[in-house]
Structure 1
Amino acid sequence: MKKEEILHIIKNKISAKIQTFENLIAETRASSNDTKSSMGDKYETGREMLQQEINNIQRQLNEVLNQQGFLHKLSTETCSKVQNGALVKTDKGLFYISASVGEIIIENKKIMTISSESPLAKEMFGKKESETFIINKVTQTIEKIW
C-alpha cells in the first residue's frame, strides 16, 4: 500500500471542500448585498438570516482548514503501532487514520479514512499487529500496520 497516494487523495478532497465552502461564503455575501431594499424590518431579518448562514459555513470551513493543517503534519513513514497516519488492516477492513473524508478506493481496495478522534481510532491507538480490540461488541484483530 502506498500511503503517499492515499494522503494525496485525501488532501485533494479536503482542498475541494475548502474551495466549495469559500465559494458558498462568497455567493451568500453577494446575495446579502442583493437584498437591499426599502422594506425595513423584512430587510433586517433577511440580512440576519444570511449572516447566520455565513457564520455556519465559516465554522465548517474552519473545521476543514484544521483538517488540512493536520494532514500537512502527517508522516507517510511505516508505523510499528497504530497512531496518526497509520494505515491499519484488521480482519474487518482497511482504515487510514487521518482526516475523515469517507471511503476511498485504491488498487481495488476500499479504505475507510477515519479521524483520530473517532471511537474506532481511539480503540486502536497504541496497538500493534496481532493485537485485538473490541468496538460495538465486535472484536477485531489488527493484521497489518503500514
Structure 2
Amino acid sequence: MNKAEILKSVHDKLSEKAVYLEKLIDETRAANNETKSSMGDKYETSREMVQQEINNLQVQLNDVLKKLESLRTISDKPSQKVERGALIQTENGFFYISVSAGEIVRGGKKIFIISPESPLAQAMKGLEPKQSFVLNGKQNLIENIW
C-alpha cells in the first residue's frame, strides 16, 4: 500500500469538498442579496433563514479547512505501530488514521479514513501487527501496518 497516494487522495477529497462548499456559500450569498434588494422588509424571516444556511455552510467549510491543515503534518513514512499517519489492515478492513473523512477506494480496496480520536483508533493505539484489541465487545486482530 502506498501511503503517499492515500494521503494525496484524502487531501484531494477534502479539497474538492472545500471548493464545493465555497461555491455553495457564494451562490447562497448571491441569492440572499437578490432577495434583499427585490423583496423588501416583509421577507426578513426568509433572509434570516438563508443567513443561517450560510453560517451552517461556513462551519462545515471551516471544519474541512482544519482537516486539510492537519493533513499537512502527517508523514507518509512507514509506521511500526498504530499511530497518527498509520495505515492499518485488520480482519475487518483497512483504516488510515489521519482525519475523519469517510472512505476512499485504492487498488480496489476500501480504506476508512478515521480520526486519531475515534473509538477505533483509540482501541488500536500503540499496537503492533499480530496484536489484538477489543472494540464493542468484539476481538479484532491487526494484520499489518504501513
TM range, smaller chain: over 0.9
User: Paired residues, what number?
Assistant: 145
1:7 positional shift:
0.7
CA separation of 1:38 and 1:101: change in aligned 2, threshold 3 A: closer
The 2-side partners of 1:62 and 1:39 are apart by 32
Tell me the residue number matched to 1:46.
46
Show the 5 A alignment for 1:1-146.
1-36=1-36, 37=38, 39-40=40-41, 42-146=42-146
Query: Per-residue displacement from partner, 1:22-73 (whole Å, max 9, x unpaired)?
Result: 0011011000111024542x32111111111111000010110010011111
- Amino acid of the structure 2 residue aligned with 1:101: A
Query: Per-residue displacement from partner, 1:76-134 (whole Å, max 9, x unpaired)?
Result: 00111111110001122111111232222222222111121211111111111221111
TM-score by length of 2: 0.93
Extract unaligned runs of 5+ from structure 2. Answer: none
Identity of aligned residues (%): 50
The 2-side partners of 1:29 and 1:103 are apart by 31
The 2-side partners of 1:103 and 1:66 are apart by 18
Of residues 130-139 and 100-109 in structure 1, the stretch that sits farther from structure 2 once superposed is: 100-109
SS in 2 for 1:117: coil
Which consecutive segments of 4 or more residues in structure 1 shift more than 4 A? Answer: none
TM-score by length of 1: 0.93
- Amino acid of the structure 2 residue aligned with 1:22: E
The 2-side partners of 1:78 and 1:11 are apart by 19
